[in-house]
Amino acid sequence: MSCRYQPRIQRAPSQLIDATGQPEFGLFDQSVPELNLAQFDYRTVLDKPANRLSKHFAQKQFQFITVSCNDWLLAVAIADIRYASSGFAYLYQQDAATFEKGLLLPLQLGCQMSKSPTAGLAILHAGKTRWSIEPGMDNWQLHIDCGPLQASLMLHKQQQSPLAMCTPTGYQGFTYTEKNNALAVTGLLSLAGKTFPVQQATAGYDFSAGFMRRQTNWRWASINTVIDGLPFGLNLAAGVNETGLCENALWHQGTIQHLSPAQFQFNRYQKESSWQISTLCDEVALQFTPIFCRQERVQAGLLASNFRQYVGHYQGEVQLQDGKTLQLNQCLGLAEDHYAKW
């Protein structure tokens, strides 16, 4: 390693917004159980109290779960951007066609979101299609009723520490984000009657909420796998949540290791080209090769989104704090390139 990255970890508050209406910023040792976003003193860029409608539409929230095995990967998302609700569910299979389903609904119709990363229920539904994510202190639950795709899964935290942080966003906003990877999975997953061995899989979740930039973008990498018989997870991001801190971490043997800022090099206009992903302190040096892409382009009035989420293989090295080097060889994972105007 060319440097040693040791961010300050602080005790998580019981509530995110304090008595003065301001969020508590920092990298926390555990989940913040109550976000109390309604108490945030949201103001205009000229420091005047924002009206109720402006505050309502400025708040965004999304939740995401992925479950990954050697030759298949499940991804499920629910997003409330106030002007619209959206989400997707897809199951990638190495030797068969990928099943995909997406929903885009006006305002908050057919959608509700969890109160926090430890409580509540997030649902997205339209007609007979429905999926839900239920966070909890000890586990997260996922249910999918999507025609041929059916699932009832539980992600087990097993007291593993998440990456939990809150940072300033833009001039007057903030974002709370929480991620946890390399989690054990139990339950049932099937597609058109074919069942999948979830007990051999690992999983991760993503919870993000706050008053985010009107225009934002990010690059993201996520891995849930098993290396030498031990669960391994990785989360790297660039372009958002980087005001003094970064949302980069790995999980190995149930322990979290925070990582330095990440750099992504790729050509977004050549979908099949590989990505080079590294960190400032050389803990990570990976190559990502895409094999499947879920893409959405939306231009609708005030909203715009150019979303690309790739399934592919990771190859390279990761340096642990104890000096040990982990070799990643054709590990299935995700990479994402996203622009949003919301």
Would you give the DSSP letter of residue 97?
E
- The answer to the question of residue 225 being in a domain is yes
Three-state secondary structure readout of 248-295: CEEEECCEEEECCCEEEECCCCCCCCCEEEEECCCCEEEEEEEEEEEE
Q: What is the pLDDT of residue 307?
A: 96
CB atoms within 10 A of CB 18: 14
Tell me the β-bridge partners of 224: 233
Does a structural domain hold residue 224?
A: yes
In a domain, 4, yes or no: no
Structure tokens at 197: 């061995």
The C-alpha atoms of residue 342 and residue 106 are separated, in whole angstroms, by 13
Residue 230 maps to a domain: yes
Strands 26-28 and 9-10 turn out to be parallel
Q: Domain of 183?
A: 9-341
Which contacts (CB < 8 Å, 24+ apart) does range 139-145 have?
140/65, 140/183, 140/205, 142/65, 142/67, 142/76, 144/76, 144/89
Overall pTM surpassing 0.75 (yes/no): yes
Residue 16 DSSP code = S
Q: How many domains does the chain contain in total?
A: 1
Residue 98 lies in a domain: yes
Q: Does residue 60 belong to any structural domain of this protein?
A: yes
**pLDDT in tens for each of the 342 residues of the chain?**
468 889 999 999 999 999 999 999 999 999 999 999 999 999 999 999 999 999 999 999 999 999 999 999 999 999 999 999 999 999 999 999 999 999 999 999 999 999 999 999 999 999 999 999 999 999 999 999 999 999 999 999 989 999 999 999 999 999 999 999 999 999 999 999 999 999 999 999 999 999 999 999 999 999 999 999 999 999 999 998 888 899 999 999 999 999 999 999 999 999 899 999 999 999 999 999 999 999 999 888 888 999 999 999 999 999 999 999 999 999 999 999 999 999
Single out the residue of 236, 224, 291 nearest to residue 260, CA to CA: 236
Q: Which helix (H) or strand (E) holds 179?
A: strand 173-191
Q: Is residue 2 one of the residues assigned to a domain?
A: no
* Encoded tokens for 39: 């108490």
Identify the bridge partners of residue 204 per DSSP, sorted by sequence position.
66
With residue 54 as reference, give the H or E element that holds it.
helix 52-58
Q: Is residue 90 part of a domain?
A: yes
